[in-house]
Chains A and B, each alone.
Chain A
């Protein structure tokens, strides 16, 4: 029985892991460039999810086709949060910056979560389209269409980010800022604009991840903390600075949770992921795939 379920668990693990990876890449990019530890990242995901949900519910927009609108919404939220709050912490020394952005992030998550609760109630919501129940069966293993499409979209988003960072001037400026912001600013890069740009890319990625969650799974105002934790876990698992590593870290977490659900019980999936995280923090703080610290 267990063996029969194994391939299915692996498939589901990879499918959900891609979303963990996508969420974590956004958090990791923002942290890598700005040293902002935005723990309201999960709330940004939540907002993206609700954007897709309401566009579908009220205007009958297809959840995948409405992704650009969800991204646009998160860009607006991102600009507001950055200009109103985060810009005031840009000049702090690194350690204070990490700590203060984390504290402020908790305040923001409290605000966003409760606004969502007031506006949209505590109910679990999800987008159910005409094609939501379609699933392909290969070798007794189910591949739900929407989750497979979500995986493809995650990969496309990751590839686009990769190309952006590699090929464009702004992307190179971001990478230079990650390496050494002082040197970058001496070379004529406007570091403040790079910070804003990275923050917005992070918000947009959170939006995409949230939209995909609302299609394949469910969303609720209180989902933020769980997703922030997952993103943090994956960020550390993957090691800072490598987005491919981060994405693979997401898949590792998804697989771990899924297999733990199979081996122990579904209610402990989250615990196993967190325990894995603490072990990695203690024994390999540079991440599973990160290089050893110089």
Chain B
């Protein structure tokens, strides 16, 4: 900014301010972000959210079945099953159904090693998609009062099931979601995802207080079996069967709750490419399900917070993420080109060295301060998410990585998802 001041000193050129006009496009999104954070904060402090946080783990132990759909997860399936076997729950009330969905690696062998365990049922089937594997598992659990799913690359805390089951004390609750974080995050990318997941913990906890959840994630979401019998099993649903099921539950007038201390740890993509692929699947799943099959719910007051606020905001978040990214690139390129043009011929040493660090030149603008407030709000919710879920581990590196890396990575899956939906392009799961 000091550089610009120097440029203007001699030229007195205020035309630079005209070039700033694209920034105006950011204001609506900043307003919406700020409003959403304020809404989250108010809801976090409201009675239903407080009651959720104070809720004790279930003492009752109804009959439960956990389905583990699995496709080529030979490295993680063993750990997943072991974590299920370690759950603090009566063994005669908990059955585990392992469904091999046509794996081509050593998954079959690992699964078969559990044959003979009275708690575990092992099923091998032709590959038919995750939804078909879950449905088969549910079919084989006729006695269960509640059925849960657990991805074969996720691991649960011992008390997670009792925390989840307590959600179903309310007879209107048809599904319950856990508190998901990343399993042993080591790299910067994994730590970034962990911070993001913990932000998601706070988000789900708060939004559940106004029954606004639109996804029951694969890792350890539970369903009231009678409701699944009533509304039907899982569907392919554009590779987002967990999202479609949640939307169907909501459309049928049931509620989806969240167990904020039901900790589950999922493996996360270790490469940027893998992350973008995964998130593209999630985002296209949201866009396609909501825009095609569940369009009637968007903006529909009958569905309360979900219809009026959450689903419309989902679309706005995608559009805003793409627009802000393009705007940022445009402004950066424009600034770079202007700087090159203006400073051309003047020694680089003069251009690069800051000539004044006076407070006077600090570029404080309303947009900058509001952006900092919104960013600070996200950080606060990440900390809250960690505290209320009692998720172990440190967060500082993850939060820094989230601040620095996420804005540069997320737009790519948003753009890719938008392009896929616009062109009708379908991608493979992995």
Chains A and B come from one and the same complex: no
Which A residues have a C-beta under 8 Å from some C-beta of B?
none
